[in-house]
Structure 1
Amino acid sequence: MLKRIGLQRCAYDWRAEHVPQFEDEIQQYRKHGIEFFAFWDVHDDALRLFEKYDLHPQIWKTAPSPDAATQADKVSAAVRTMEPLARRTKQLGCSLGLYNHGGWGGEPRNLVAVCQGLRDRGYDDVGIVYNWHHGHEHIDDWAESLRILRPYLLCLNLNGMNANANPKILPLGAGQHDLSMLKTLVDSGYTGPIGILNHTDLDAESRLRDNLDGLQWLTKQLDGTPAAPRPQFQTYSAATQSRTQPSAGMFAGKVFEGRPEYRQPPVTVECVATLTQKRTYNILVANDTKRSTDHWEIFSMTGNGYFTAYLPGRTPDHVRSSVDICDGHPHHLAMSIQSDRVRLYVDGREVANQAIRSGGSSPVPGGLAVGRLVEGGFGCHGSIEWVRLSRGVREIPKDLPSKVDRDQHTLALWTFA
């Protein structure tokens, strides 16, 4: 596929089921002349294979959001957290890219501070991988953000950009701010790698081609040349992105007003949902945007359908089960959040129990979303019957509830059936 498109580099993302394929992936890249440019996250098997094949890809790792009282303490804690990986990647001859993915660790100034802290310790190959699709909050100050990021950039991943991430993922050329942000990039003198991505459940080749077409359309306008007709995208049209017109088989995502009680543990969130596919993430319930340390969300993982929680303000930031909830059957799904622990339940059975600690406090109050993220983007394939939020740790029944009621613990209840 990459050869058909004309791409010669690949940044490799993966899930647990892909681990046995790592070596074949490397061999196929070599066979077809594709550079193994970057590897997402860390896996011991992959690092051993990089040594075996004398490969030196960038290693992309989300920058942490530590729990500390002051900015200086947070930077120091993040540097200490990342130093073992920086040491290992240096031994392998690989660059380590700190990756923005929401929370304190995703802010440009914090990324730079952590990166510089690691360089001060002798890890000169540590840099930053910045993603437009995780940076909608910095559309307005993109020029300043780029100014401080640029000396550290290992790669910049592009995305169509609308205000308020509406929607979060767009092909290049479809966003309101794409041209101005690209012009700022070119004017800055940056000549390093740029990336394009699919990041949807749509056909990857078609979406990558759409991004290339959009990028070509934008670059022809950088010198002030009037815009030609916008490309006819294969995977996107503005009409299909209306919030009130979800794709066939998708839940019509909704956003409600947020409340402080949704952010303050202990709290329990429950829903009954029927999910019909696992080619992409299915967002069930999400509080605030990913930029906030008070953000939490429950969702199914892409590829395997495993019930998962994401809490960027906590460490670890993911709580994972090994239960596939994307089987076309209704499931009672729940998460309880305490100050030091998160538990996940499927049909009354505890499927994950994870000790956590606070990763710092950078709250950005927002809404409460059902079947989507607050900032837009991913949705939910299937149906959601109801969602209930409760104060405290609620006992989760063993049987699928036939109905749901309010009681003295209920913070909010929404029904959609």
Structure 2
Amino acid sequence: MKKSIILLFTIIQFTGCKTVSNERVFQKESLIPWSIVGFDVKERTPEQRLDMLKRLGFNQYAYGNRPKHIPTMKHEWLLAKKKGIAIKAVWLYINLNKDKVNKLKPESEVVFKNLKTVGLKTQIWVGFEPKYFEKLSDEASLVQAVTMIEYLSKRAKKLGCKIALYNHGGWFGKPENQLKIIQLLPKEDIGIIFNFHHAHEDLDTYSKNIKMLLPYLWCVNLNGMKKEGPKIISIGKGNLEKDMIQQVLNLNYKGTFGILGHVKGGDPELILEENYSGLLELFDKQNTINP
């Protein structure tokens, strides 16, 4: 028996295999459902949405609203707390034409107002409107992005929250630019949310980017991936996502994974189920994950 154990250990060392339990890495209790509010063809109420999560076996999610959900935002957060469902992040979409330091647009300001009222301490996932940066130089883009992120981070800290940069396309979504922003704000605790479905333009440099971002990665949102698109497909229906996920695991990533409930005009309940099933099917039942 002892010789067999030594032989097995030697084989694992030699091949570089890592035996990882899917029960630990991809269990529903660890995954964060995302994009289940703003893209729901059934237009669920907060009660219906939280009941859906419970029914599916999820005990947490990230809240990504649209302006029409603002009237029920605070109610949903309070109800989630009552039901024992954790809100791991809230979405904040910044348009520098409308959002200014010390004067955010009403749709942005209400996020901070409700965070304070509810006492919700969570991550704030910040995306920037890409078009704003199109006519700016890299230097001007960096100055404006850093100024806004520093302002948001300081406000978030007062509420017990943290800011994370979300790759939503354009200049701000580029990994190298997000890294520059973080490095210019060494006193702020800022993370990065990496979304597969917003990474098609950078697939050729994915391996380099994911290693570069690793120290700041707080969540990786998964999606089926094909270089030619479409942008969003179910996990397991692409030909790239298994290797992309594998690379993250091989880096000994300690953050969380998100699972999309988003297809335009789709039902998040069905999409979450399909994505979860596809995720498990990507890895065999032996749970052996190879580099």
- Normalised to the residue count of structure 1, the TM-score between the two structures is 0.50
Aligned-residue Cα RMSD (Å) equals 2.0
CA drift at 1:55: 1.1
Given that residues 100 and 130 in structure 1 are in contact (C-alpha distance below 8 angstroms), is that contact kept between their aligned partners in structure 2? yes
SS of the aligned residue for 2:288 comes to coil
Do structure 1's residue 162 and structure 2's residue 199 form an aligned pair?
Answer: no
Q: d(CA) in 1 for partners of 2:262 and 2:289?
A: 31
Q: d(CA) in 2 for partners of 1:183 and 1:22?
A: 36
Question: Residue 54 of structure 1 aligns with which residue?
Answer: 119
Given that residues 193 and 219 in structure 2 are in contact (C-alpha distance below 8 angstroms), is that contact kept between their aligned partners in structure 1? yes
Q: d(CA) in 2 for partners of 1:169 and 1:220?
A: 24
SS of the aligned residue for 1:77 comes to helix
Instruction: Quickly say closer, same or farther: Cα 1:49–1:224, change in 2 above 3 A.
Output: closer
CA drift at 1:149: 0.9
Given that residues 223 and 234 in structure 2 are in contact (C-alpha distance below 8 angstroms), is that contact kept between their aligned partners in structure 1? yes
* Equivalent residue letter for 2:152: L
Do structure 1's residue 189 and structure 2's residue 252 form an aligned pair?
Answer: yes
Question: Residue 219 of structure 1 aligns with which residue?
Answer: 283
Q: Give a deviation string over 1:265-320, Cα, whole Å, max 9, x none.
A: xxxxxxxxxxxxxxxxxxxxxxxxxxxxxxxxxxxxxxxxxxxxxxxxxxxxxxxx
Alignment of 1:297-376 (within 5 A): none
Question: Hey, which bits of structure 1, 4+ residues long, moved more than 3 A?
Answer: 63-69, 71-74
Q: d(CA) in 1 for partners of 2:55 and 2:254?
A: 25
Match of 2:144 among 61, 72, 77: 77
Q: Give a deviation string over 1:350-383, Cα, whole Å, max 9, x none.
A: xxxxxxxxxxxxxxxxxxxxxxxxxxxxxxxxxx
SS of the aligned residue for 2:204 comes to coil
Question: Residue 107 of structure 1 aligns with which residue?
Answer: 174
Instruction: Quickly say closer, same or farther: Cα 1:212–1:78, change in 2 above 3 A.
Output: same
Instruction: Quickly say closer, same or farther: Cα 1:59–1:223, change in 2 above 3 A.
Output: same
Question: Residue 8 of structure 1 aligns with which residue?
Answer: 59
Alignment of 1:250-269 (within 5 A): none
Match of 1:133 among 197, 222, 227: 197
Match of 1:145 among 197, 209, 212: 209
Q: d(CA) in 1 for partners of 2:289 and 2:74?
A: 47
Given that residues 68 and 74 in structure 1 are in contact (C-alpha distance below 8 angstroms), is that contact kept between their aligned partners in structure 2? yes
CA drift at 1:76: 2.8
* Equivalent residue letter for 1:106: G
CA drift at 1:92: 1.2
CA drift at 1:215: 0.9
Aligned length: 220
Q: d(CA) in 2 for partners of 1:45 and 1:73?
A: 28
Given that residues 226 and 239 in structure 2 are in contact (C-alpha distance below 8 angstroms), is that contact kept between their aligned partners in structure 1? yes
Any unmatched runs of 5+ in structure 1?
226-417
* Equivalent residue letter for 1:82: I
Given that residues 160 and 175 in structure 1 are in contact (C-alpha distance below 8 angstroms), is that contact kept between their aligned partners in structure 2? yes
Q: Give a deviation string over 1:96-138, Cα, whole Å, max 9, x none.
A: 01111111111111111112212x2x212x1111110000122
Q: Give a deviation string over 1:243-276, Cα, whole Å, max 9, x none.
A: xxxxxxxxxxxxxxxxxxxxxxxxxxxxxxxxxx
Structure holding more helix per residue: 2
Q: d(CA) in 1 for partners of 2:171 and 2:246?
A: 27
CA drift at 1:22: 1.3
Q: Give a deviation string over 1:138-174, Cα, whole Å, max 9, x none.
A: 2233221110111111211110000122x11111111
CA drift at 1:86: 1.6
Given that residues 124 and 161 in structure 2 are in contact (C-alpha distance below 8 angstroms), is that contact kept between their aligned partners in structure 1? yes
Q: Give a deviation string over 1:37-88, Cα, whole Å, max 9, x none.
A: 111116333322322332112111114764544x445323320132221211
- Normalised to the residue count of structure 2, the TM-score between the two structures is 0.70
Q: Quick one: percent identity of the two aligned structures?
A: 36
Q: d(CA) in 2 for partners of 1:210 and 1:49?
A: 33
Given that residues 283 and 289 in structure 2 are in contact (C-alpha distance below 8 angstroms), is that contact kept between their aligned partners in structure 1? no
CA drift at 1:224: 6.1
Given that residues 92 and 111 in structure 2 are in contact (C-alpha distance below 8 angstroms), is that contact kept between their aligned partners in structure 1? no
Given that residues 98 and 115 in structure 1 are in contact (C-alpha distance below 8 angstroms), is that contact kept between their aligned partners in structure 2? no
Q: Larger RCO: Structure 1 or Structure 2 (Cα < 8 Å, ≥ 6 residues apart)?
A: 2
Any unmatched runs of 5+ in structure 2?
1-51, 94-107
SS of the aligned residue for 2:76 comes to helix
Query: Larger C-alpha radius of gyration, 1 or 2?
Result: 1
Q: Give a deviation string over 1:367-409, Cα, whole Å, max 9, x none.
A: xxxxxxxxxxxxxxxxxxxxxxxxxxxxxxxxxxxxxxxxxxx
SS of the aligned residue for 2:252 comes to coil
Q: d(CA) in 2 for partners of 1:45 and 1:105?
A: 23
Do structure 1's residue 180 and structure 2's residue 247 form an aligned pair?
Answer: no
Instruction: Quickly say closer, same or farther: Cα 1:80–1:45, change in 2 above 3 A.
Output: closer
